[in-house]
């Protein structure tokens, strides 16, 4: 969790507190957003004393738009009246591996300024008492009904109200969580008959007074002049003493996925460290070498380091361990070590079938380039290029790739060297 490897042996039966048919650690999946109470140490190990999980959404999906890796655009789907975005950081565990309209899934998601961003989407393999679940802000109230997004929910006196919420709290602007059923069989898209309504579970993102806390999610409601933003509805304050781990504080923006470590006081988190969890570089290539003891691989000439934050997956027909793999697709964060050597800190690794051509994306290292032949360096890899042999793709401003900050390169291995086949500018417009 958040890069910390927790021991769970102190939790009786390694149980998980949840009302969503998840009762033990064995039923958890990568990508699920958990609340872990316990201790963690500077060496990124810890001891969990309590685990808590709650679905953000559960029900049928529609209007699925898959992520477009080529254009680096996220996907989205509709679920119980709201739009949920997902991308290559989202762990998708559904029957055929690809999300399609009509599937019934559970979703673990972060709240954003304009909706939700999924961390996990998975098939529901057990039957909860109340098969539908959603959360959101009430936008309209009409007698014993209320609306979240475009979804109408019928409440009333026969509904359970666990926790502090009462029927009088169902007003416009209230942030609530609803579990229930469609009012009629096969009524997907129709009215929901609520069984339980409670305040949205912000508790999983909050701590006790003066305790250390670590949480992740997308930045929202950023106020640069006030040095504040919201993370899962929790106010975060940062200042000149806050450490921005390997990314500039000027890069912080709404929607950026970050991890914050700090102290919880008076309902706010005072950030001591903010770490980027968004990838800014990638490589798809053959594995040249692997060092499991150092958690390091050389992939297409790029040094790749695996951390506790790395999510590893594989094609359905591949069972190799990542250190035994022949070909990998890696997305992560471009960093430099204490010796100023570039490496890729892996966020996602996909074990794939071998291919002949490689590709990478990263910051273009500055240098002087001859007009006919030369060398380009990206992600620490030197690649030969020939002015007449590669296809140059210019951006909308007719800017030459040499003037760009970030480039994508298709390349191949030739003996002990790498040769660029195509170079494309990836700078934002």
Q: Where are the domains of the chain?
A: 5-53, 54-205, 208-276, 279-428
Class of domain 208-276: mainly beta
- The Cα 102–Cα 104 span in angstroms is 6
Q: Residue 153: pLDDT band by 50, 70, 90 thresholds?
A: very high
Which of 58-72, 111-125, 151-165, 197-211 bottoms out in mean pLDDT, i.e. has the lowest? 197-211
Task: Read off the pLDDT of residues 28-84 as tens digits, 9 standing for 90 and up.
Answer: 988 898 988 888 777 778 899 999 999 999 999 999 999 886 677 889 999 999 999
**Which helix (H) or strand (E) covers residue 311, if one does?**
strand 311-314
Task: Read off the pLDDT of residues 226-285 as tens digits, 9 standing for 90 and up.
Answer: 999 998 888 999 999 999 876 778 888 888 888 899 998 888 999 999 988 878 899 999
Closest CA to 242 of 262, 213, 222: 262
Q: Is the pLDDT of residue 208 over 80?
A: no
Q: How many residues does the chain have?
A: 429
What's the average model confidence in pLDDT over 365-380? 70
Q: Please report, for residues 253, 293, 381, 395, 410, the alpha-carbon distance to residue 373 in angstroms, rounded to integers and kept in the order given.
A: 39, 39, 17, 22, 17
What's the average model confidence in pLDDT over 103-116? 89
What's the average model confidence in pLDDT over 124-138? 85
Q: Residue 109: pLDDT band by 50, 70, 90 thresholds?
A: very high
pTM of the model: 0.73
- The pLDDT value given to residue 370: 44
- The pLDDT value given to residue 183: 85
- The pLDDT value given to residue 372: 42
- The pLDDT value given to residue 246: 65
What's the average model confidence in pLDDT over 161-175? 90
Which of 99-103, 151-155, 382-386 bottoms out in mean pLDDT, i.e. has the lowest? 382-386
Computed over every residue of the chain, the mean pLDDT equals 85
- The Cα 362–Cα 379 span in angstroms is 6
What's the average model confidence in pLDDT over 104-133? 87
Going edge to edge, which strands form the sheet with 5-7?
5-7, 45-53, 34-40
Q: Residue 429: pLDDT band by 50, 70, 90 thresholds?
A: very low
- The pLDDT value given to residue 374: 80
- The pLDDT value given to residue 267: 84
Q: Are 246 and 195 in contact (CB under 8 A)?
A: no
Q: Please report, for residues 110, 209, 249, the alpha-carbon distance to residue 55 in angstroms, rounded to integers and kept in the order given.
A: 11, 26, 32
Strand duo 62-65 + 82-86: pairing: unpaired
């Amino acid at each position: 969790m958040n890069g910390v490897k927790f021991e769970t042996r102190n939790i009786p039966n390694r149980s998980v507190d949840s009302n969503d048919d998840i009762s033990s650690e064995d039923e958890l999946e990568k990508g699920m957003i958990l609340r872990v109470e316990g201790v963690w140490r500077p060496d990124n190990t810890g001891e969990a004393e309590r685990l808590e999980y709650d679905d953000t959404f559960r029900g049928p999906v529609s209007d699925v738009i898959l992520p477009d890796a080529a254009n680096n655009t996220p996907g989205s789907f509709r679920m119980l009246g709201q739009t949920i975005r997902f991308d290559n950081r989202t762990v998708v565990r559904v029957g055929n591996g690809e999300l399609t309209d009509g599937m019934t899934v559970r979703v673990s998601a972060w709240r954003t300024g304009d909706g939700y961003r999924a961390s996990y989407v998975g098939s529901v393999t057990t039957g909860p008492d109340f098969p539908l679940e959603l959360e959101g802000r009430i936008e309209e109230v009409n007698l014993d009904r209320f609306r979240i997004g475009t979804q109408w929910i019928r409440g009333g006196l026969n509904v359970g109200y666990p926790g502090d919420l009462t029927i009088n709290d169902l007003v416009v602007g209230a942030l609530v969580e609803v579990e229930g059923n469609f009012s009629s069989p096969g009524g997907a898209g129709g009215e929901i008959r609520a069984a339980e309504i409670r305040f949205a579970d912000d508790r999983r993102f909050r701590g006790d007074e003066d305790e250390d806390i670590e949480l992740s999610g997308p930045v929202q409601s950023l106020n640069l002049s006030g040095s504040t933003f919201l993370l899962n509805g929790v106010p975060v304050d940062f200042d000149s003493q806050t450490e921005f781990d390997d990314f500039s504080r000027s890069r912080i923006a709404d929607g950026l996925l970050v991890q914050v470590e700090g102290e919880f006081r008076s309902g706010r988190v005072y950030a001591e460290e903010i770490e980027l969890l968004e990838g800014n570089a990638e490589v798809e290539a053959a594995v040249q070498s692997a060092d499991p003891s150092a958690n390091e691989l050389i992939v297409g000439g790029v040094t790749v380091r695996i951390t506790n934050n790395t999510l590893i997956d594989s094609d359905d027909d591949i069972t190799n361990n990542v250190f035994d793999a022949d070909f990998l697709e890696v997305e992560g964060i471009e960093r430099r070590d204490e010796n100023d050597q570039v490496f890729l800190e892996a966020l996602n690794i996909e074990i794939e079938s071998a291919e002949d051509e490689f590709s990478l994306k990263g910051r273009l290292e500055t240098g002087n380039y001859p007009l006919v032949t030369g060398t380009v360096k990206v992600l620490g890899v030197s690649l030969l290029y020939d002015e007449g042999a590669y296809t140059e793709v210019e951006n909308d401003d007719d800017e030459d790739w040499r003037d760009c900050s970030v480039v994508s390169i298709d390349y191949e291995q030739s003996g002990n060297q790498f040769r660029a086949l195509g170079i494309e500018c990836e700078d934002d417009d």
